[in-house]
Amino acid sequence: MQVVIPAAGMGNRLGNHTKDKTKCMVKVHDITLIERSLDILSKYDVRRFVIVVGYQKEKLVEFLGDNYNGIEIIYVENNIYDTTNNIYSIYLAKDLLAEDDTILLESDLIYEPKILDDLISNQFPNVAVVDKYQPWMDGTVVEIDNNYDIINFVSKKDFNFSKTDDYYKTVNIYKFSKEFLQNTYVPFLEAYSSALGQNEYYEQVLRVITLLETQELKALPLQGEKWYEIDDIQDLDNAEVIFSSKEQKLKLLSQRYGGFWRYEDLIDFCYLVNPYFPNETFVGEMKYSFDTLLREYPSGANVQSLLASKMFNCDKSQIVVGNGAAELIDALANEIDCKLGLFLPTFEEYSARFKNVYLEKITNKDFSYDKEDIKKLASKTDGVLLINPDNPSGNFIKYADLIELIHWFKTENKVLIIDESFVDFAVDGINSTLLSEEILNSYKNLIVIKSISKSYGVPGIRLGVLASSNLDLINNIKKIIPVWNINSLGEFFFQIIGKYQKVYNLSCDNIISERNTFFEQLKSISYLRPIESQANYILCEVIEKKSDALVSELCQKYNILAKDCSKKQGFDNSNYIRLAVRNSTDNQYLIDCLKDIK
C-alpha cells in the first residue's frame, strides 16, 4: 500500500502562516500538519509516500528528507502550482498512483488516527471518508444511500440548504484499489484533464465515475471522530481548540467567550440563556422574514426605544436599547459620578466599568443578603448596584422588598441601580419586574437594566434595555450609543415578541420546574453542596475537591463547559462552580457525568 498526498498549493488564505512555507508545514500545537499525518500513516503497512510538491517545495523536501520513519518518500513536482488546481497535481502522479493500492489524502487535514483505522480495515476496496454536513464545512458534498453508495456529488450551484440533513462532506481521505486506479480512475482522470483542463479538482473525476452503472465507490461515514480541514486562519484557530490537549482545552474555550456552535459536541453549562424560548413558531417567523431582515437597514435608536417601551410598558422617553446589556453598562458607567456599593461575589462587569465602587463581601456560606443588608451598604455609599437575582449566587430580593427599598432610597436621596436580567426565572418573577412607567416615575434615581439575550434565549442578536425616569440620563446615554446599534433581527424581535408573551411565560415556568429538579439531583452528588437559587443557574460549593480541577475534568472527559468561580472576587480561592440550568436531557447528562467522577 502507498500514500499519495497533494501538497503543491500556496495556501494564500492562511496569510502570514504560509508566507515562507507550504500549508502542510503549518503547525497546530507545535506539530506540523504533515508530521501529524505521516506519524499516523507510518503505523500501517505503507511502502512509500508520494508527495506532490510545488510552492516552497525546497523547504518541504529539506524538512522531510527522502524517508520518514524508514518509509521512502517520492516527490512529484508541480511547477505551475500557481495556475493549476489539485487535479493537475494528481495527474502528474498518475503513473505512480496506478502502481499500488493507495490512500489519497489532502495535506491540510488534521484528524484522529481512528479514521485511518476504520478506513484501512473497511471491507470495501474503494472508500471515501465522509462526515455529516455541518455549517462550518466547505468543499465537496455528497449524498449516499442505505448501502453506503455515493449516489451524487452535489455541486455548489445545486447545493440546497433544505436538504442538508441528507448531505455528507467529503473529509478528503480516500482508499482506492490498484485495479480501480488502473482501470477506472486514472483513465477518467486523463480524459477529464484533457477535456476540461488543469484548473479543476480531482473530486470531479469521482463525480463522473459515480454516474456509471457499476458503482465502485463507497462512503465511510464518521461516528463523531474529530477532523478539520485548514484552509484559512479561522480554520487554524478552530483546529487549535478541537485538537488541544486536555490541559489546553478549557483555557482555549474560555478565551473565546462564545461561538461554541463550532464545536457541536460541546455542552455549555457556563453561559446563561433560556433553553425553552424561543419556540419553533417564533423561530419560524424569524426565518420567514430573514431574507428581508438581512437586506434591509434597521430603524434608528428612537424607533428601537418605541418598540422596547411597548414590550416593557413604559414611555419611550424612559428607555434605551443596547447591543446587549454590556453596552448599556459601559455607557451608564460614563454618566454616573458617585460612590456605589456592590456586594461580592457578583457579576463583575459593574466593578470593572464603574469608576468608584465600594465592594462589600458577603461572608455567610450561601452568599445571601436581604433588604436590610442593602440599606446598610447604602449607608456607606451614595447608592447601590444590585443584581437581582444575583449572579452567581442566585440570591433574590422579593418584589415587595424592592418597592420598600425604592421608597427608602428616595427618602435617603441615593441612587439605586437594579439589574434584573434573571428576574423572570424567579418564583413569580414575571410579576417582579421594575420595568413599568409607574414604578420608574416613582423615583428619578432608580435605574433598571435588563439583558434580553439571557432571559429570552436570543444572545445571538444581542439585546438589552436600560430604563429610568431621569430623562437627562437617558438622553445622554442615547447620545453615546450609535444610532444603528441594533440590527434588523433585533428590531424584528421587538416587533413580534408581544404575540409570544404567554409562550415566554410558560418557558420561565419550565425553567423554575427544571431548576427545582436539577437542584435536588445536585444534592445527590456527594462532593457538591448546591445553593438554592432563583435564577437559571445554581452555585455549588465543591467539597474535598478543587473546583478548577472539576471544571477541567468535565471539559476534558465529557465535553461539558462549566464556570469555575474560585478566581472571582469574593470567593477568595474557595471552591465553587456555577452550573446553568439547561433542558432536562442536558441536565441529566451532567448529573450522570458528575456521578461518574470519583
Amino acid 155: pLDDT: 79
Burial class of residue 142, CB neighbours in 10 A (0-12, 13-18, 19+) = buried
Task: Evaluate whether 103 touches 41 at the Cβ level (below 8 Å).
Answer: yes
pTM of this prediction?
Answer: 0.84
The residue among 50, 75, 36 whose CA lies nearest residue 181 is 50
* Residue 422 in grid coordinates: 434573571
Amino acid 287: pLDDT: 94
Q: What is the CATH superfamily name and number for domain 247-274+503-596?
A: Aspartate Aminotransferase, domain 1 (3.90.1150.10)
Q: Would you tell me how many other CB atoms lie within 10 Å of the CB of residue 45?
A: 7
Amino acid 209: pLDDT: 82
Q: What is the SS3 assignment for 474-506?
A: HHHHHHHCCCCCCCHHHHHHHHHHHHHHHHHHH
Same fold, 247-274+503-596 and 280-499: no
- Cα separation, 163 vs 151, in Å, equals 15
- Cα separation, 457 vs 452, in Å, equals 8
* Residue 332 in grid coordinates: 451608564
Each as own residue / partner, the long-range contacts of residues 594-597 (CB below 8 Å, 24 or more positions apart, any chain) are 594/522, 594/525, 594/528, 594/554, 595/524, 595/525, 596/558, 597/550, 597/553, 597/554
Domain ranges of the chain: 2-239, 247-274+503-596, 280-499
* CATH placement of domain 2-239: 3.90.550.10
- Cα separation, 554 vs 289, in Å, equals 39
- Cα separation, 137 vs 596, in Å, equals 34
3-state SS of the chain: helix, strand, coil percent to 5?
A: 45, 20, 35
DSSP letter (8 states) at residue 298: P
Amino acid 213: pLDDT: 66
Strands (DSSP E) contained in 114-163 are 127-132, 141-144, 150-154
Task: Evaluate whether 230 touches 23 at the Cβ level (below 8 Å).
Answer: yes
DSSP H/E element including 538: strand 537-542
pLDDT in tens, the chain (598 residues): 999 999 999 988 899 999 999 999 999 999 999 999 999 999 999 999 999 999 999 999 999 999 999 999 999 999 998 888 888 899 899 999 999 999 999 999 999 999 999 999 999 999 999 999 988 788 889 999 999 998 888 877 888 888 889 999 999 999 999 999 999 989 988 888 877 777 777 788 888 888 776 778 899 999 989 999 999 998 898 888 888 876 777 788 888 777 776 777 889 999 898 999 999 999 999 999 999 999 999 999 999 999 999 999 999 999 999 999 999 999 999 999 999 999 999 999 999 999 999 999 999 999 999 999 999 999 999 999 999 999 999 999 999 999 999 999 999 999 999 999 999 999 999 999 999 999 999 999 999 999 998 899 999 999 999 999 999 999 999 999 998 999 999 999 999 999 999 999 999 999 999 999 999 999 999 999 999 999 999 999 999 899 999 999 999 899 999 999 999 999 999 999 999 999 999 999 999 999 999 7
* CATH placement of domain 280-499: 3.40.640.10
